[in-house]
């Protein structure tokens, strides 16, 4: 899987204490807050942040020659964030009321707080399959991002339940263009069209016919509405452990192991959560590790020796570019909008 964000060169060995500034000007080009860090050795911005972007057309992201733009909501307000990686330095600049909060939490977003020491340490590392060790050697700069933003991760993940990625991302783009908000300074400093996803309250106001028009059936839209009625509780999960967050998510009808894992991988940089129930994952893991397809139970048995680091191992299997054969029929893209 190739990251759609640009791959950038990185060097350096340690994170540097950031310096944040708040210029007096508003939308004049100067950021409301910014900070700079020295990137860890071999750090890859593109590979690290790739899971956060829901396809090339995700309106909450926009390309930049040295990195990317993104926009989201913080407890202090919305923010447009420019993240660049040049000459071994990571720079984050924010515009909007949420700029200070976003810049302060940027190390987790950039994966700088993600620790692979246990994965790379002996004897654990030598116990890994050969192709996993090779993939790790080729991708030493990969980190896992932790956004802490549960609602932002949960809604597009529910949209991906039991449908193709193409169908889910098409629906997400449609809904964000209809109900999202322009990012701070969009069209001035930030790119035109950069969008902040709806708040929980705004998602709850989406009419049933708009869910239908987007191609989202009642089962998925009802799950989103049911979950977001407890939005304050959901966001508190961002401050809990990955295990507690997964358990809290699964207490909501319609949210199972797969959805919880896909969320905590993004919100908590969860190193162990496995997306059990994925249409392709178990077959892929089985083929990569044994040359034979398997089911979810078989996948978990295969991964058990590396419990605590299973998601990292799965990520390395994907980066190993294993050419697994296609298993079974393709999923059919269902279009409910004309019915």
Sorted by where each begins, the domain ranges of the chain are 33-138
- What burial letters (b/e) apply to 223-247, b meaning 16+ CB within 10 Å? bbbebbeebeebbebbeeebeebbe
pLDDT of 28: 53
For the stretch 41-53, pLDDT in tens is 999 999 999 999 9
pLDDT of 322: 85
Q: Which stretches of the chain drop beneath a pLDDT of 70?
A: 1-28, 324, 326-339
What is the token pair recorded at 304?
A: 């058990």
pTM above 0.75, yes or no: yes
Alpha carbon distances (Å) from 85 to 68, 191, 220: 9, 18, 37
- CATH code for the domain defined by 33-138: 3.30.310
Alpha carbon distances (Å) from 67 to 7, 42, 48, 64: 8, 16, 12, 5
């Amino acid at each position: 899987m190739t990251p759609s964000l640009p791959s950038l060169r990185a060097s350096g060995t340690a994170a540097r204490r950031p310096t944040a500034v708040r210029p007096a000007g508003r939308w004049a080009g100067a950021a409301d807050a910014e900070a700079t860090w020295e990137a860890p050795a071999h750090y890859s911005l593109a590979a690290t942040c790739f899971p956060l972007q829901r396809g090339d057309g995700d309106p909450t992201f926009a390309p930049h020659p040295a990195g990317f733009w993104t926009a989201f909501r913080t407890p202090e307000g919305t923010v447009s964030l420019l993240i660049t990686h040049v000459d071994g330095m990571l720079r984050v600049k924010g515009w909007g009321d949420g700029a200070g909060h976003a810049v302060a939490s940027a190390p987790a977003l950039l994966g700088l707080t993600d620790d692979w020491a246990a994965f790379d340490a002996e004897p654990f590392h030598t116990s890994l399959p050969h192709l996993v060790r090779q993939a790790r050697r080729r991708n030493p700069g990969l980190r896992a991002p932790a956004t802490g933003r549960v609602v932002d991760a949960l809604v597009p993940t529910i949209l991906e339940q039991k449908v193709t990625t193409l169908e889910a991302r098409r629906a997400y783009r449609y809904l964000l263009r209809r109900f999202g908000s322009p990012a701070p300074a969009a069209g001035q400093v930030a790119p035109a069209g950069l969008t902040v996803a709806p708040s929980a309250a705004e998602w709850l106001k989406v009419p049933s016919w708009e869910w239908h028009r987007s191609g989202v059936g009642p089962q998925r839209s009802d799950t989103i509405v049911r979950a977001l009625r407890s939005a304050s509780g959901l966001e508190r999960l961002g401050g809990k452990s990955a295990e507690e967050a997964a358990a809290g998510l699964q207490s909501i009808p319609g949210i199972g192991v797969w959805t919880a894992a896909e969320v905590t991988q993004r919100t908590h940089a969860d190193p162990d959560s496995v997306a059990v129930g994925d249409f392709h994952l178990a077959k892929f893991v089985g083929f990569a590790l044994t040359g034979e397809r398997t089911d979810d139970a078989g996948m978990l048995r295969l991964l058990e020796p590396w419990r605590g680091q299973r998601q990292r191992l799965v990520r390395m299997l994907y980066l190993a570019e294993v050419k697994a054969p296609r298993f079974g029929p393709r999923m059919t893209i269902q279009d409910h909008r004309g019915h």
